[in-house]
A and B are shown apart, each in its own frame.
Chain A
Amino acid sequence: MDESTKRKWDFSSSFYDLLAYGPERRWAPCKRDLFTNMNGKVLFVAIGTGQDIPFFPPGKDIVGIDISPRMLTKAKIRAAEYDGSLDLKVMDIHAMESSDHSFDQVVTSCTFCSVPNPVAGLSALRRVLKLGGMLYMFEHTGSSVFPFNLMLNIMTPIWKPIGPEMNRDTVANVEKAGFEILQVNNVYLDVVKTITARSPA
């Protein structure tokens, strides 16, 4: 378990919902749309305080993991409202206990801005994903366009101690981890995007 990452998100859990009020409502339509793809046994990575749970389609079989026990304590309240199977577990993506090829799909939501080693984390997801299984991501990334790339580079060292990194190239990281990219859809500028990828069969 990465203790420093765990401590960071345990600390952030106390004000996370306050800061997430606007973003979650703004992104709700897009997330609902992405999550309609959920099918089979689904691993939801970094479920946090469970802000995304109300957007899950009903009747799904989902395992939600997060590195922060304090985040999950809050998520449990929202999970109790979910009309389906939702199992929450404290787990570090870099040390996942799940057996190989045990999930049909993996879904992430603003996760790979924060995973300390994103390529290793994505490779771990590939390990637990069935061959040919789908990866659906809602992520914010760096930008290739001035002045947004400059802004994100300035903000990254300021926000990193208590939150995410703003300038990651998550699409490239997904490819580096061996996934086959099927679709990248820009939600806001080239910064907020949905990524659909497949673990090669």
Chain B
Amino acid sequence: MFLKMEKLRRLKYKKIVKVGENVKIKTLAEHEMETGVRRDNITGVIYPRLIIQSVIAKYNGKIVFKANWFSGVSANPYLAFYITAKESGLIEIEWKDDHATTSYKRGYLKVINEKGNEVLPVKYDL
């Protein structure tokens, strides 16, 4: 089930960026957003409402962007937003359903210094 859900969600961004750059993050969820208004043509039964309610984006464990959706968002919802790159780290995105089933997608963002070295979130000296 988890593996199947992972295939239906997509995340895309520029993998290696410089410090202070605005990264465009594009997400897509394959989901048939039922509005709860449609009826079956033959039987006349209403399809029950089932939409993605909220999307939360985290960058290194900190919430960066939130979206609350209603029935007016199209099927297979696409979302694009921006993040400033400070240090390399994890980008997590969480989709929450009407049944409170959540699905995740994550990826690693590599941030490079002016000299070409990677900027790590944990600073240590030898």
Are A and B subunits of one complex?
no
